Structure 1
């Protein structure tokens, strides 16, 4: 069943790109546009631009671009229909289903959407189990013992999996779910050697729902309450099409607003740590769920803040074993602090022990930057063992070297020198040695990649042809850029629009780049119907390739600061100040590229004349074509002011 056009239109009318994207990344205004570090790839300098006036986004680093709907599709990894549902939920728009359905549409539910529906059913099933006699006496009792309030239980969708082999399986099948979808969602298992025997994955355990960033259930963690040594304390959902552990942090859906407001993210280890901190009034907290920190999880934090505070259990050996996570956070461009709890305590136990106010006070007083924290861990070893001190210095230098910002590196170098009681120059020297080695390794890797590319080009013999085709592609792109940005504008003192002028002058040219040829074809078709398409025409179209390219063409990488004209009275000439001249030069450049291409083709045929056994007259004709084209090029060069050597 599809979403009705009425609902889609309501969503499109109501949605605002700034509101949609700011749910995922903090935006800062610069000129007319808003900027952020791209949520789709790791970067230190913002290259992700949002244009509220055009309702589009564009990353100049990775090339991602689109409107609010496309952003939700990209960030959530969902289809168009699900993106519309997501935005309808955000804006409180009632979703109407399209009654006209074909048999094909009935079967067109994507696997991903089916998995999300099944996981949502399982979430509801586990939550409702807390109302059963078994759920009350076992699951709800456990949560109450830990001080979890009904509000917190509801907030995190905590639940209980009944003791039995197939409670969820039977309920899901009764509700119409196929066993295949339940298997793919990781909710049931298939007995080894007996494919007909299937049973619930989660049994006799309390359940912690794992949500994606928009709040949909994508997996579960489940804790056993008995002391059965043959069973693991926790079991978790497996990797599925909707649950990739390396990209998920438990509690991020509940924490993202607070993380952005507080500009800090507390990072803990387990599910109960997150829930307990919320009970203490601390909502900007997420958990890695016991796994080693990954690059995807670090990028997820960085969408909302550059500050992270790692909360460690009071276990020195365990802390030292997990220090690698700090280096990864630093490398990801985050500013890192750490807090260690008293021996034998973790965030969950300590928050329950001392109460909310004392717990928050402890975090504030005991938060240390990563240098002070790391050196403090080894202070006893350093004091009694000079060799160990040298090793610690190298470890600290290695961590400082992970910081992308050179100013921050310098600040932490000075702090480390003071704490380690060593000359700052020694740490600087060791740091430079480390950075040089890293640069050398990167350079050698780059050279190796360039060498491999050169070998490929040599093998296919296409270097010259490729570079020439690229030049032509860029000139075609420039022509289309002028069309979509200014095609609807009239030339000064004339009734002629720029698009009419450009297309009349290039009527005999056929573009080689498929997407530009497609846009040119659309323009020609619209003009034949006395319609001039503006940017909205392309942005609301259904061709995703055209839409993405048009967004790229209307998104300027840099803006001229208005204070140059206002404060300094400097007049900046813009390309649309004289569209007649801009259009004329663009046509000349494009024609020059086509002429050069035909000259190259003629020259190549002359070179191959002997191999192809061409007659003298044929060669003479090719030479005549070449020199005629050369004269045309010279005339164009004069018009463009190109100096001819």
Structure 2
């Protein structure tokens, strides 16, 4: 499979729609499904037990003449690509590549695909695989370095089998052997872009390995290919290492590695989600390894950064159940609290498992083999965790303190689209604070009305009505960006890269659809305006979007129009943030008031200085 077609399809290029249609015509759905399901002929169709549930009576139907399957036990349906997406936990692009390889169909790519780009990507992946193999071999070598790192690994109470499972490695202090191994095998451009090296500061400007005297943990993409490394400081880490004092040194972002779009161990975790129907979120790679060793096979971690909306969207592809197991110190619990509104907004059901203040999952689980029993005792619901965090150990709150805590809870719940879910959480909050549910509900509705008034006043809606469409109707920035996104694929990609989803007002239908499409683009799930079915949740959305597809772009310069819209959304977002700070300042004590005032000043500077600089 190591051919140009394989590498190209997996990375940054898109398969043409005509090629996808050709695969659909040539590949019989029966041939795709039958390796997974024992099918029995029923007329022109086939029937079998669902591959997505443990049913005893067959309710899974395959219709080869229509190219569609339908599972009545789970409600899922689709074509050949959708079946493989569901069964193998693949993205659309991955399923296209898998079927083309399986049935020996040549892929065709959109115009403008550079063979040089494909080759560059292939070289970067090849170099990282070479590095992984080299470091892994050094870990197990019968040498002084090998003996040292194996002793270190055992001293951390990790098993040898775990090191083999994750291809853990060792970077020796002396990097000459590695440089000799790759000498002449990769272009200079590949070495420079890989993030594995830095240039010496002496006159030679020769390359030096970024990782020396460190434990090496390969970072893999969703297909299991090494795309970066995280390295742990050791007592032998040399003093001339520019990052000698850093406990962890990670690869910088490269053409094949973007930290905010990847979760450590998701390639393995996704294969076990069907058994557990949940994903565990921890802070670091060693925490992940410890959890994996203890049986929590669906554990993942962000790459040294706070969790992002993009990463939560990745989790949402595989499950709606997220279990948060971050470090027990103040920073870890603040990070956990930050995850809460983001997870709820992403449609995830989240639970929290707060550790003792001095513990992280790595150290905590070393003390017990019955991890599940420990976790069962620690479980906290979203609202219980939020109240614990906001109350900071206080048991008896004054009326004013209760009001402040409740407002923070309301801000989180306001992000939810389901009124039923909001009320369920409010009922729990009332019980935990010993407040009548009807009082909490009334207070929450008052909060929502006030927020709506604030937004109307501060977002300066007249500013967002930046133009009229061809029917003379006033349109918002979200509307115009959605129109551009639907009609200009190149600009759509650039918009997704620069536009923060938080700037979008998804209270409007256009904002909601724009947010969905940009999220799909960011995750490489967007296949153009000819493939919209996966976006729709209601008939209203379907009708609205197809109605917009009938419109033509009215702008003289689409890029400049997009820039104006993005700047408008940015300014509106900052103004809403400033107004919210104004409200907090009014009721804050002097110390907090000073802190909030500084935050407001920073936002004001950003509004004055940065809004005009944003450009795609």
Instruction: Give TM-score scaled by structure 1 length.
Output: 0.57
Once the 2 structures are TM-superposed, how far is the Cα of residue 215 of structure 1 from its aligned partner?
0.8
Once the 2 structures are TM-superposed, how far is the Cα of residue 452 of structure 1 from its aligned partner?
1.0
User: What does 1:100-499 correspond to in 2, within 5 Å?
Assistant: 109-132=118-141, 133-174=143-184, 176-192=185-201, 196-226=205-235, 230-316=244-330, 318-320=332-334, 322-355=336-369, 357=370, 359-377=371-389, 378=391, 380-383=393-396, 385-436=398-449, 447-448=461-462, 451-454=465-468
Counterpart of 1:568 in structure 2 is: none
Count of aligned pairs between the two proteins: 430
Residue deviations 1:216-259 (CA, integer Å, cap 9, x gap): 11111000112879520001111111111111111111111222
Once the 2 structures are TM-superposed, how far is the Cα of residue 318 of structure 1 from its aligned partner?
4.0
Closer/same/farther in 2, CA of residues 331 and 558 from structure 1, 3 Å limit = closer
Counterpart of 1:599 in structure 2 is: none
Partner secondary structure for residue 404 of structure 1: coil
Q: 2:147 and 2:193 mapped to 1: Cα distance?
A: 31
Once the 2 structures are TM-superposed, how far is the Cα of residue 388 of structure 1 from its aligned partner?
3.0
The 8 Å contact of residues 371 and 412 in structure 1, kept in 2 or not, is answered as yes
Residue deviations 1:452-477 (CA, integer Å, cap 9, x gap): 13189989xxxxxxxxxxxxx9xxxx
Once the 2 structures are TM-superposed, how far is the Cα of residue 14 of structure 1 from its aligned partner?
8.8
The 8 Å contact of residues 276 and 347 in structure 1, kept in 2 or not, is answered as yes
The 8 Å contact of residues 324 and 336 in structure 2, kept in 1 or not, is answered as no
Closer/same/farther in 2, CA of residues 368 and 549 from structure 1, 3 Å limit = closer
Counterpart of 1:51 in structure 2 is: 78
The 8 Å contact of residues 271 and 287 in structure 1, kept in 2 or not, is answered as yes
Once the 2 structures are TM-superposed, how far is the Cα of residue 354 of structure 1 from its aligned partner?
1.6
Closer/same/farther in 2, CA of residues 108 and 447 from structure 1, 3 Å limit = closer
Unaligned runs of 5+ in 2: 7-18, 37-50, 54-58, 107-112, 474-486, 488-526, 540-549, 551-616
Partner secondary structure for residue 377 of structure 2: helix
Please say which of residues 260-269 and 387-396 is displaced more in the overlay.
387-396
Once the 2 structures are TM-superposed, how far is the Cα of residue 448 of structure 1 from its aligned partner?
4.8
Q: 2:127 and 2:316 mapped to 1: Cα distance?
A: 30
Partner secondary structure for residue 305 of structure 2: coil
The 8 Å contact of residues 372 and 416 in structure 1, kept in 2 or not, is answered as yes
User: What does 1:36-47 correspond to in 2, within 5 Å?
Assistant: none
Q: 1:264 and 1:3 mapped to 2: Cα distance?
A: 34
Q: More relative contact order in 1 or in 2 (CA 8 Å, sep 6+)?
A: 1
Q: 1:312 and 1:19 mapped to 2: Cα distance?
A: 42
Once the 2 structures are TM-superposed, how far is the Cα of residue 384 of structure 1 from its aligned partner?
5.3
Counterpart of 2:56 in structure 1 is: none
Closer/same/farther in 2, CA of residues 168 and 405 from structure 1, 3 Å limit = farther
Once the 2 structures are TM-superposed, how far is the Cα of residue 310 of structure 1 from its aligned partner?
0.6
Unaligned runs of 5+ in 1: 37-45, 59-65, 97-103, 460-472, 474-546, 560-592, 594-645
The 8 Å contact of residues 249 and 288 in structure 1, kept in 2 or not, is answered as yes
The 8 Å contact of residues 260 and 303 in structure 2, kept in 1 or not, is answered as no
Residue deviations 1:364-413 (CA, integer Å, cap 9, x gap): 23212111122234263241554333222221222222333221111110
Once the 2 structures are TM-superposed, how far is the Cα of residue 184 of structure 1 from its aligned partner?
0.8
The 8 Å contact of residues 306 and 335 in structure 2, kept in 1 or not, is answered as no
Once the 2 structures are TM-superposed, how far is the Cα of residue 285 of structure 1 from its aligned partner?
0.8
Closer/same/farther in 2, CA of residues 384 and 13 from structure 1, 3 Å limit = closer
Once the 2 structures are TM-superposed, how far is the Cα of residue 178 of structure 1 from its aligned partner?
1.9
Residue deviations 1:152-172 (CA, integer Å, cap 9, x gap): 112212111111244433322
The 8 Å contact of residues 351 and 381 in structure 2, kept in 1 or not, is answered as yes
Partner secondary structure for residue 110 of structure 1: helix
Once the 2 structures are TM-superposed, how far is the Cα of residue 201 of structure 1 from its aligned partner?
1.0
The 8 Å contact of residues 398 and 431 in structure 1, kept in 2 or not, is answered as no
Partner secondary structure for residue 210 of structure 1: strand
Q: 1:19 and 1:291 mapped to 2: Cα distance?
A: 43
Q: 1:167 and 1:87 mapped to 2: Cα distance?
A: 41
Once the 2 structures are TM-superposed, how far is the Cα of residue 108 of structure 1 from its aligned partner?
7.1
The 8 Å contact of residues 310 and 338 in structure 1, kept in 2 or not, is answered as yes
Closer/same/farther in 2, CA of residues 272 and 20 from structure 1, 3 Å limit = farther
Q: 2:246 and 2:424 mapped to 1: Cα distance?
A: 45
Q: 2:359 and 2:4 mapped to 1: Cα distance?
A: 52
Residue deviations 1:89-139 (CA, integer Å, cap 9, x gap): 8x6x9999xxxxxxx999674322221121111111111111331442222
Q: 2:347 and 2:447 mapped to 1: Cα distance?
A: 18
Partner secondary structure for residue 181 of structure 1: helix
The 8 Å contact of residues 259 and 303 in structure 2, kept in 1 or not, is answered as no
The 8 Å contact of residues 158 and 206 in structure 1, kept in 2 or not, is answered as yes
Closer/same/farther in 2, CA of residues 246 and 430 from structure 1, 3 Å limit = farther
Larger Rg: 1
Q: 1:141 and 1:207 mapped to 2: Cα distance?
A: 15
Closer/same/farther in 2, CA of residues 153 and 388 from structure 1, 3 Å limit = same
